[in-house]
Amino acid sequence: MCGIAGVARIDGNDLSQEADGLLSAFAHTLAHRGPDDRRLLREGPVGMAFNRLSLVDPNNGAQPLVSADGKVVLIVNGEVYNHRELAAGLPGVRLSTGSDCEVLLPLYQRDGLRFLDRVNGMFAFVLWDKERRLLLLGRDRFGIKPLYFHRDRARVVFASEIKALFADAATPRRLDWNRALGEYDMNATPGFAHGRVTTWFEDIELVPPGVIVELSLKDGASKEHRYWRLPDPDAASETSDEEYAARFRDLLVSSVADCATADTDLGLFLSGGIDSAAVAALAPGGTLRTFTALTPGTVLNGDARGGRRTAELLGLPNHQVLIGSERVPSPQEWRDLVWLGETPLVGPEIFYKFELHRFARQNFPEIKGMLLGAAADEINGGYIPQFAGEGGDWDDFEANLRDLYRRQALQRNPKFGHWWEHDGVPLLNDAAIDPGTPYADDPYRGYFAWQYRTLEQYNVWHEDRTAAGMSTEARVPFLDHRLVELVARIPARRRAALVWDKRIVREAMKGVLPEEIRTRPKGYFFYGDGARHTNRFLTRLLAQDGAELLEQALATENARRFLSADGMRTALDRLTRSPNTENVELLLRLVNLGLLDGMTAQLPAPPAEAAPRPRPVELTVTDWEREQDDIVARVAAEPELSRTVPYALADNVLLVTAPALPDTWFVAVDGSFEYEISAADDAAWLALLQALDGDALTLPDALAKAGVEFEAVAELFREALAVGLVTAQPAEREPAER
């Protein structure tokens, strides 16, 4: 991993000596991405800055790289995994360094813009063709490595991170509020999101994945050359399920071997799921250090225990990194993390992963690369069962996709709404609503393309930043383009058998992983059984120190124009009484937007100079079965519930039954039956809910009215508070403003 940046004149002129200061500022801002070496180059119209983290050939891989004839100059952030194979196909070419990226120079000189067609790796590069007076900016097929740029009529500036561009006084520093608030990943609206991702800032562009941007240094003219795109399904394929799984296994073996190639030590983030376990099992050497997040969610849903068990079965050292319910970052820590991430989507997952990287780097500084199981869910169907709904199957998943597509199409063409359904009977075909879409006949292709975009907007974006923040390179074996192409080409008739709940991965790992790992259900960092702890963590984060983060987010002129200060304060006040996952995450994203807006006006220190944080610690576990109660108490401590605050069912909650089912009660939320309660099996819980139905009572009074002991309902009561079924009632009217 490296940090690359630079500036070029695109009006036919050369850079002046003043550009040297700008190049130094770029390199200084990106110091965290490459602490091992720093090089600056200014020649004619082009200036380049390079910060190196050396994983391959540490002593002989400095950049910029220059072709043998001196006509082409190159800086690259990333790895070319098949560089030896590519070099072998260049007879008569002698490379001058051990850098895996140098092979790109003779490839370009031979193949022109087709030079990336056979390259396998993760990379972002800037190439200067002196003879043709061209500047090329390009990225790998999935955008694993970032490259941003801003251009005007006279010049272009480019960098691995947006914050480096802001070191240039001529680059605008304006948050793109309108686009940010409409971004699907930002507002948690399910939908087929396609097209280019947002950079969150006005006039800051991101080189698209699988694309080379060509800029003329003579007149600024630009072109885009797409060298890769997602393939279409192969309807004619006669490949069997077994053959697909075998091919997937072979490609994953190759990809893991590629990603594990380094001249320094590597580590692995190990969860309890099959993805990171597969990488661990296939990684060569057998001495990989593994790191598992010990959060309330991963402890309560069994994921952390599963990670430890996987390490035991594979004979790998495992470090359980304690990130308990009491670990709430300070406002300064959170601002630094948002600035490092450069995205309002910073949340619990990004915080937990950064803590893992901090622990690994501080305790094992020889580890410079981290293997991840990331992206397997998005590409191989890990989230499909969720889209099918509880108890749903593949047919339900496809029906829900069609419904989602239809609703989005009707939003774009509302005049068709009346005609599509009349008296419960559809009168128009789905394709008629939005004939321009390529996915009307196959919504799954739209889903796959949506997941591909999400990878760039969220997954690889934050995996890069959290690793780079600790001078570590993230490596993602599941984002080998050969693997993704294989899955994308699966014909429609084979999808249910291969991509429901990642079946292709599970089948591929037969005989490679122990069965208890291969068949283990997916776990989560912070959802599931630990959701209430995550809710409380985020609420405490926002409420601490007089709601410092929220108030700072509201401090800029633009924030006050777009955000309702009274509404956000009231929302936080409600959350402190009854945290809710969806509501608190949405509020946090708005706070993050406001923080980013403020930080662009007054730039924080570079990440390498960020304020110190508490040192992460490891919880040593010798026997999980015997120590489980102590582990839960240490990681997922429950706060004391107030005995003086009144509680009641939320305003949108009804407790109902039917004469025909006298022993069954239902909890309706917003008019929809969400929970079923058996009067025989859950008598204590039903009695407490009945006591709180219509009356606001303190907990002792409610328990006395119901005639139950708290121990009998404690877990359910805490869960009801977490999801908002029961709310703490304000002692007086809610505050409207401060």
> Cα–Cα distance between 573 and 738 in angstroms, integer?
12
Q: Which amino acid is at 721?
A: L
Q: Which of 158, 121, 167, 153 is nearest to 137 (CA)?
A: 158
Judge whether 76 and 101 are in contact, CB under 8 Å. yes
Phi, psi at 131, each rounded to 5°: -65, -45
- Ranges of beta strands (E only) in 305-442 are 318-322, 367-371, 421-422, 425-426
3 state SS of 525: coil
Phi-psi region of 174 (alpha: psi -120 to 50; beta: other; left: phi over 0): beta
259 is catalytic: no
Q: How many CB atoms lie within 10 A of CB 187?
A: 13
**Cis peptide leading into residue 317 (ω within 30°):** no
Phi, psi at 503, each rounded to 5°: -60, -35
- Cα 696–534–299 angle (5° rounding)? 115
Q: How many CB atoms lie within 10 A of CB 42?
A: 19
Q: How far is CA 336 from the centre of its chain?
A: 18
The strand pairing partners of 137, in sequence order, are: 126, 213
Phi, psi at 21, each rounded to 5°: -65, -40
Non-local (6+) Cβ contacts of 273 within 8 A are 303, 306, 373, 520, 522, 523
From residue 664, alpha-carbon distances to 627, 650, 673, 694 in Å are 38, 21, 12, 20
Judge whether 650 and 657 are in contact, CB under 8 Å. no
From residue 38, alpha-carbon distances to 1, 25, 74 in Å are 13, 12, 15
Q: Which of 660, 648, 655 is nearest to 677 (CA)?
A: 655
From residue 10, alpha-carbon distances to 45, 76, 170, 672 in Å are 8, 21, 15, 60
Q: How far is CA 585 from the centre of its chain?
A: 14
Judge whether 295 and 304 are in contact, CB under 8 Å. yes
The strand pairing partners of 673, in sequence order, are: 668
Judge whether 518 and 344 are in contact, CB under 8 Å. no
Q: Which of 13, 72, 17, 41 is nearest to 217 (CA)?
A: 13
> Cα–Cα distance between 182 and 192 in angstroms, integer?
13
Which is it for the CA torsion 248, 251, 257, 261, positive or negative?
A: negative
DSSP class of residue 343 equals S
3 state SS of 415: helix
Among residues 2, 274, 636, 720, which one is catalytic? 2
Ranges of H-type helices in 489-623: 495-498, 503-508, 515-518, 531-553, 557-562, 565-577, 581-601
Non-local (6+) Cβ contacts of 566 within 8 A are 736, 737
> Cα–Cα distance between 21 and 18 in angstroms, integer?
6
Run of H or E residues at 160: none
> Cα–Cα distance between 220 and 303 in angstroms, integer?
52
Place of tokens 């948002």: 338
Catalytic center residues: 2
